[in-house]
Every structure is written in C-alpha cells, then in structure tokens.
C-alpha cells in the first residue's frame, strides 16, 4: 500500500508528515510559514507548496487535510473568495455572538439545535459579523467552506461539489451533533440569505481523487485530527493547558447542555467529542510566578516544597472570570491565610492545585453526564512542569499520559488518509481505522496519592461552593 501524508494548515504555518499507512511511522516531514499578510486562501496554497518542496510528497498516494479552526471562506457563484478568510479575530465578533444567541431565543435554544452556544470564534458568528459589517460581500456569498474544506477542494482540482466531514461540520454552529445534519436555516439566520454548504462525508469516505489518481480523504478539524493522531478512544480525554484550558473526551453520543457549558463536537471516527472549557489554566501559574518573582520552573520547584492542600491555602483561579462554572464577572479568591501558611511555597502549591482542580471541575461536568474518563492525555508546555506531572494524576483522578512532542494534528490527518485509502483498496473496513499506536510518552498513575487528591478536591470544592453558592446547579 502506498505511503500517506497529513497536511496541517494552522494559523501560522503548514506542516506535512508522511507516514507508513500500516504502522503510522513518520517517514519524513516538511514545514513552511504562512505569509504575514491577512489570511487569504491563496496564501495557504503557497505555504503548502513550500512545505512540500524537496520531494516531501514523493510517492505519496493519499493525503488527509486539517486546518485552522478559525478560517472560514465565503465563495461567490464563480467559486472565488468574496474577501480574505474570516478568522474570528475581528472586533465585533463578541457582539455578533450575543446577537445570534438572542435571535434564536437564548442559550438553551442553541444547545438544543446544534449542541453548542455561539462563541466569537465560531463560523456561524463570523457569518453574522460578515452580514452586518460587510453586507456587499455577504450578498455575494454563494457557498461557505472552512479552511480544510477549501484546501481539499483545491487539491481535487475544484470539482463540482464541496465536501467536509462530521468533525469539521460540528464546529460550525450550523450542524446538529444530535441529528448529524446541517441546520441550513441557522447559516441563513447568520448571514441573511441561504448559502450552499459542503456535503458531509463518512469518516473513511474519500473526498475524491486528483487527476493524477491521488486519493484525498474527507479532511477534518484540528481538534478532531489531534485526537485521532493521539490515538484517543473510549475512556480517554485530552486536557489542554494553554492560557485557558479545555477537557474533551470520547463519548458514544452527542451531549446537549442547556447551559452551553458542554460543546458537542463530533470526532473523525464516528464517535463524539464533548468539550468543556475553562478560562484559567496557565494564566494562573504565570500570574502567581510574577507575584513571587520567579519563572514557571521556579514556581514548580517552590510548589513541590509544600504539602498537599498547600497548608490550608485554596486558590479559586478565576482571574479572567470563568466559564466552568459560568462566572463571567468573578475574580480570583485566595482563602486559608494564616501566619504559618503565608510562605511562597504554599502559594505556589495553591496555584497548581487551583488550576488542576478547575480542570477537574470541567472533567466532572462530563463525568456527571456519563462520560468515562480513565486516561488523560495532557497537552501544553505547562505539562512539562514537574509540579503538574506530580499533581495531575491524583487531582484529575485518572492515568495521565504526557505525550512526546509531535504534530498530532498532521498525524491525525495522515491516519484519516490511510483509513480512506485502505477502504478504497479493500484492505480496511469503514468500521475500524488503521491500528496506529497511541501517542508515546510518560505515563503517570495516581497510585497511593488518589485519596490525597480526593481530599484536596474536597477542600477546593468547599471553598468554591461557599464563595459561589449554586455555581454548578
């Protein structure tokens, strides 16, 4: 079977990985930055071409594509972009999101309709912004694609139909995770008139073949591709530690949530990826480090000098308000101050425990809805800190895997290509993807610390519930 490639067109660069289709072993790689100008779709193709220089795609027989989740391409009737890509970074996106929520009758109405409440970065919100800020461009919009859909269409030579997959579609705000179908009326509500949307393909269904015979798989969104590349399955979750945090887990059904706390994504395999986000993750660590005059490794070293429970200190890390629980106007709270607890190491420990307990709250939202979380893949630079590694298994109540660095989004795209190619050639079935191994990395078990972690979480929850009664009701 021919070798496969995955293309990851992120907000700043294009990465390519070429893999053995049976084992997932990386054979070669390429990378190129996007031009610094406004993100026109044409610049994505230029970056892709540069990343493929030097024969990176030589002998490749199938390609999968993933792309930045914030790239929406509105096309006119001739298939030309009506403007540069919509990226979610424009002013007015928040107002557009709030307007959409009100237009459909509130958060619960959106959660029931599509499994998510519009956020400033969602494509449905970008269409709303376009319809009001640039009405002439909106009027000329005939079809709406996401970045990976447009790239797949270009690689296939601009065929008569546009395609996408259920994972990418689930991030738009106008595809229902429950019915697994487009809600065309919601796209029309956003932009002001009906628009064409791509056909949604099955997980192993190819989008087509190039004139040269190269198979192009359906493509998918970055979150879905990363999960597929990591090798997560039922019982697994991915916890991302950026300035903000998120917990997404594999589940067998879509979860609707009238509060909008859960965003119901589909994955690239036929399962679902419910996601719960927090507004405060490493921003909590960085703020504490600045206060104590140390860097993050120094903060980690201090925290490990303290003891579980931080000598009674509890930090509610709601420095930017909070989304889980829904406390947009909250601020951080530090309790338990006594003379003996007023030491740098105890504050450092409280920052790590507060951040991880906040993420445990997010995981708890999913667990209370029946999502099984036994193993957690921990992503982000903060996952390298010794204090995070020491505390995460017991506070998250799961086996923790810190994966080795790799471009898991591109790997996920390559795995999708291998799956579609295998089905196309009769060597795989549409029921099971190729059996690539899960991401390699350090595995950490709660062990004897599980009971200690439960006690710390109880201490944290007591302060949270006393400070913000009914926050999780």
What confidence tens digit (pLDDT) does each residue in 312-329 have? 999 999 999 999 999 999
User: Between residues 296 and 120, which one has the greater pLDDT?
Assistant: 296
Of 221, 62, 225, 50, nearest to 147 by C-alpha is: 221
User: In sequence order, what are the residues at sequence separation of 6 or more whose Cβ sits closer than 8 angstroms to the Cβ of residue 424?
Assistant: 206, 215
Residue pair 188/141 in contact (Cβ under 8 Å)? The answer is: no
Give the model's pLDDT for residue 89: 65
- How far apart, in Å, do the first and last CA atoms of the chain sit? 54
Q: Count the alpha carbons within 13 Å of 429 in the hemisphere toward its beta carbon.
A: 2
Of 323, 309, 238, nearest to 280 by C-alpha is: 323
Give the model's pLDDT for residue 473: 73
Q: How far apart are CA 299 and CA 289, in angstroms?
A: 6
Using a 10 angstrom Cβ sphere, with 0-12 exposed, 13-18 middle and 19 or more buried, the burial of residue 22 is middle
Q: How far apart are CA 361 and CA 368, in angstroms?
A: 10
State the average pLDDT over residues 301-309: 98
Res. 90: pLDDT tops 80: no
User: In sequence order, what are the residues at sequence separation of 6 or more whose Cβ sits closer than 8 angstroms to the Cβ of residue 329?
Assistant: 321
Res. 88: pLDDT tops 90: no
User: In sequence order, what are the residues at sequence separation of 6 or more whose Cβ sits closer than 8 angstroms to the Cβ of residue 466?
Assistant: none
Sign of the Cα torsion 175, 181, 185, 187 reads positive
Residue pair 383/435 in contact (Cβ under 8 Å)? The answer is: no
State the average pLDDT over residues 236-257: 96
Q: How far apart are CA 156 and CA 159, in angstroms?
A: 7
Residue pair 413/65 in contact (Cβ under 8 Å)? The answer is: yes
User: In sequence order, what are the residues at sequence separation of 6 or more whose Cβ sits closer than 8 angstroms to the Cβ of residue 199?
Assistant: 161, 162, 163, 164
pLDDT in tens, 407-420: 999 999 999 999 99
Q: How far apart are CA 250 and CA 439, in angstroms?
A: 16
Of 172, 72, 83, nearest to 133 by C-alpha is: 83
Instruction: Please list the alpha-helical segments (H only) found in 105-213.
Output: 107-114, 123-133, 135-140, 147-155, 166-169, 184-191
Res. 39: pLDDT tops 80: no
Give the model's pLDDT for residue 333: 97
Q: Say what percent of the chain tops pLDDT 70.
A: 98
Give the model's pLDDT for residue 41: 85
Task: Tell me whether strands 206-209 and 13-19 are parallel, antiparallel or unpaired.
Answer: unpaired
Q: Could you tell me the pTM of the whole model?
A: 0.93
Q: Which residue has the tokens 């965003």?
A: 263
Res. 157: pLDDT tops 70: yes
User: Which band of pLDDT confidence, cut at 50, 70 and 90, is reported for residue 309?
Assistant: very high
pLDDT in tens, 346-402: 999 999 999 999 999 999 999 999 999 999 999 999 999 999 999 999 999 999 999
Give the model's pLDDT for residue 230: 97
DSSP H or E stretch at residue 277: strand 272-278
What is each CA distance from 50 to 28, 414, 436, 467, in whole angstroms? Answer: 15, 19, 28, 54
Q: How far apart are CA 388 and CA 403, in angstroms?
A: 14
pLDDT in tens, 420-446: 999 999 999 999 999 999 999 999 999
């Amino acid at each position: 079977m021919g070798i496969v490639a995955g293309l990851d067109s992120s907000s700043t660069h294009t990465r390519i990985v070429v893999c053995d289709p049976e084992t997932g072993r990386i054979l070669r790689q390429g990378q190129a930055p996007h031009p610094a100008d406004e993100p026109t779709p044409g610049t994505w193709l230029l970056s892709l071409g540069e990343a493929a220089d030097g024969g990176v795609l030589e002998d490749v027989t199938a390609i999968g594509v993933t792309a930045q989740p914030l790239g929406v391409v509105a096309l006119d009737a001739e298939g030309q972009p009506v403007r540069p890509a919509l990226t979610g970074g424009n002013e007015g996106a928040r107002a557009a999101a709030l307007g959409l929520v009100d237009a459909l009758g509130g958060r619960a109405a959106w959660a029931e309709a599509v499994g998510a409440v519009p956020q400033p970065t969602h494509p449905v919100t970008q269409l709303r912004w376009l319809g009001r800020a640039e009405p002439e461009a909106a009027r000329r919009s005939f079809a709406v694609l996401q970045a990976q859909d447009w790239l797949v269409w270009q690689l296939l030579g601009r065929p008569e139909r546009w395609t996408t997959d259920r994972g990418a579609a689930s991030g738009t705000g106008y595809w229902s995770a429950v019915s697994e179908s487009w809600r065309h009326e919601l796209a029309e509500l956003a932009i002001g008139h009906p628009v064409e949307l791509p056909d949604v393909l099955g997980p192993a269904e190819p989008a087509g073949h190039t004139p040269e015979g190269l198979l192009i798989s359906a493509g998918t969104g970055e979150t879905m591709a990363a999960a597929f590349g990591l090798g997560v399955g039922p019982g697994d979750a991915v916890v991302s530690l950026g300035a903000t945090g998120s917990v997404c887990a594999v589940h067998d059904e879509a979860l609707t949530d009238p509060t909008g706390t859960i965003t119901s994504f589909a994955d690239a395999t036929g399962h679902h990826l419910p996601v719960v986000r927090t507004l405060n993750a490493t921003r909590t660590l960085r703020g504490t480090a600045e206060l104590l005059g140390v860097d993050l490794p120094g903060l980690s070293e201090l925290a490990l000098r303290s003891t579980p429970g931080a000598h009674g200190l509890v930090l509610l890390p709601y420095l930017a308000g909070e989304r889980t629980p829904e406390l947009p106007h909250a601020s951080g709270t530090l309790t338990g101050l006594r003379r003996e607890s007023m030491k740098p190491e105890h504050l450092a420990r409280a920052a790590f425990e507060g951040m991880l307990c906040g993420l445990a709250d997010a995981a708890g939202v999913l667990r209370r809805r029946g999502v099984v979380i036994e193993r957690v893949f921990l992503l982000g630079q903060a996952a390298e800190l010794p204090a995070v590694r020491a505390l995460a298994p017991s506070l998250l109540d799961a086996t923790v895997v810190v994966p080795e660095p790799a471009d898991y989004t591109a790997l996920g795209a390559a795995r999708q290509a291998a799956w579609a190619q295998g089905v196309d050639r009769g060597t795989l079935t549409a029921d099971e993807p190729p059996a690539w191994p899960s991401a390699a990395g350090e595995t950490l078990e709660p062990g004897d610390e599980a009971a200690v972690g439960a006690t710390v979480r109880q201490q944290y929850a007591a302060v949270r519930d006393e400070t913000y009664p009914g926050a999780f009701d």
